[in-house]
Amino acid sequence: MPAPVCGLLAPCSCSFPRKPTVQKSQAADNSSRQPGVRVIKKYPNRRLYDTDTSSYITLAEVKALVMDSEPFVVRDAKTNDDLTRSILLQIILEEETAGVPIFTEQILANIIRFYGHSMQGYMGAYLEKNVQVFMDLQAKMAEQSKGLTPEMWQQFVNMQSPMMQGMMGAYLEQSRNAFTQMQEQMQKNSEQMLSAFGLKR
């Protein structure tokens, strides 16, 4: 009878060099780390750990990162899942309940109605474009008001009415264009769907 093959018919005493093992969580963390992006880990006890400063941070400090436009990602310390959106939503919830709210009940109700709706994806893109346009307007105003003395600031405020009308006019025009693009995309998708079934409008 031939000698047994290693580990199949009998215990084997052969020794082979083992491959170096890397912990799964560590490997996943290294692969998900992007250059220049701060990684924050969220532990089961709801604590947030900043890997850049090697210290625990609060939700208020995460908000400060957002205000400073510093890129970061929040990941589950155990599963490495991306939790950034849930943390941002938590910040919004705290601001809406503790400070001066941005969203009225009507706005929130209308947003909720779009979940599961066929236009949900379009609504998200539409809101994102409009918020970006508004942020651009705010940046222009901040740039124009740099270095003003209190007297000059008062004059600047008095000038804002006609200036804001012009800027809001441009904003509304871009908003209208974004809505038109959304309608055109919906029409294009509908035509493609009908064409797939051999139908024509």
Domain check: are 92 and 154 in the same one? no
Pick from 118, 132, 116: nearest CA to 178: 132
Domain boundary residue, one of 98, 117, 143: 98
- For residue 199, count CB atoms less than 10 angstroms from its CB and return exposed for 0-12, middle for 13-18, buried for 19 or more: exposed
The rounded distance, in Å, linking the Cα atoms of 68 and 50 is 16
Q: Is residue 44 part of a domain?
A: yes
Tell whether 87 and 130 lie within a shared domain.
no
**191 in the same domain as 137:** yes
The two three-digit tokens of residue 110, written as one number: 């209308």
Residue 176 in any domain: the answer is yes
- The answer to the question of residue 38 being in a domain is yes
CB 11 within 8 A of CB 21: no
Instruction: State how many domains the chain has.
Output: 2
Q: Is residue 13 part of a domain?
A: no
Question: Does one domain contain both 148 and 187?
Answer: yes
Which residue bears the tokens 């701060």? 38
- Cα of first residue to Cα of last residue in the chain, in angstroms, is 78
Q: What is the DSSP annotation of 161-180?
A: HHHHHHHHHHHHHHHHHHHH
Residue 198 carries which side chain, given as an amino acid letter?
Answer: G
Would you give the DSSP letter of residue 145? T
User: Of 54, 82, 98, which marks where a domain is finished?
Assistant: 98
Same domain, 130 and 93: no
Q: Is residue 10 part of a domain?
A: no
Asked whether residue 28 is assigned to any structural domain, the reply reads no
Tens of pLDDT along the chain (201 residues)? Answer: 444 444 433 444 444 444 444 344 444 455 455 678 999 999 988 899 999 999 999 999 999 999 999 999 999 999 999 999 999 999 999 999 987 888 899 989 988 998 988 888 888 888 888 888 778 877 777 777 676 666 666 666 566 555 555 555 565 566 666 667 766 776 677 666 666 666 655
pTM, to two decimals: 0.58
Question: CA-to-CA distance for 168 and 173, rounded, in angstroms?
Answer: 8
What's 21's DSSP letter? Answer: P
139 and 89 part of one domain: no
Residue of 121, 137, 140 lying closest to 171 (CA atoms): 137
For residues 93 and 135, state if they share a domain: no
Task: With respect to residue 21, please indicate whether it lies within any of the assigned structural domains.
Answer: no
Q: What domain range includes position 57?
A: 34-98
* Whether residue 135 sits in one domain with residue 94: no
Cα(70)–Cα(50) distance, integer angstroms: 13
**What gap in Å lies between CA 55 and CA 194, rounded to an integer?**
56
Tokens of residue 159, six digits: 């000038």
